[in-house]
Structure 1
């Protein structure tokens, strides 16, 4: 019996053909079929190879072309699971801002599938400020990674005490100053390494690009990024 973490609806889990034929362990799903239908998986569409949003062709969109001019040394390569919509918005509100910590588990299987651990990528979560941590009690990104049993390395510190990102207008997000510092003991650790930055939602790209920029400037070989939504 499955109980949806999002809406509380109970339903009998349908086994996949693989689970039936090969007696494999059933995956742990946390969303009912009704809620899953509201999600829009971006892998079903052509997406911009730079920011991951839906596009007419798999190339850099106009926004990413502008970022490329500002950050010519940074690889614009982002993958997101879902298009940002009302369900994702409500999930963010309940999880991040209302503190429903159970919802860190909502996308466990999807995160595990997409962040298959190998020696090529070191997972680096986007940090939150001390002010946000004191208010919220947790970093939503590391909470998601822990729930999905994905190992990660904290390399960055968020030194800003400005308004939280969700409270800013698009213009304010784009104009924000570099919020991150690289922890000094991690400088030698990231040298010539491939890193994968993880965030909850990619909005303008400003936050992730600041993170990529500081990591590349300190010797990372390659830095890509991943988020739940775009």
Structure 2
């Protein structure tokens, strides 16, 4: 069994489609970060384990889900419908096989799936990682996989939008084998709203949090 952490804030409209795509052998952990639209009830109705996370912040939700996981290998993915969870084996199998320690899903967007400002910010951050840490990556990859105990051992402390970047930086500094595989990236589910990439302000907040991580 492989656990899949899905940080969640008001994704009731997307969760049915997201959870219906979960492949056999994968178990969903929805880390609910204060949803007011019934996301937790929807998640439970589709068989997901729900972890209530009072501390607000993407990193707080992601880390709470990681802590609650019990499987040896843990995946992360967005809960907004932009990823088909049927692609999870692409990122998990190199970790299971022992050929990589952290695998990131490099987004291959369909038209309209990734706003230009968010894509540019992500590309610049990935370039900085390639330049400073010699990592062979081109995307910060929200869909990703690693081993639970080793991930917890990284001692991640960011509880905002810097958490995904902190994981990559800490893994690189620990000598992990970091790899990326291509995954399809689609528009968010209809009726949902992005907290990060949907607006210039959201992207600016994410870049701010991530820049603090790189400055440490």
Say yes or no: TM over 0.5: no
TM-score w.r.t. the length of structure 1 is 0.27
| Bigger Rg over Cα | 1
Q: For CA contacts below 8 A with separation 6 or more, give which structure has more relative contact order.
A: 2
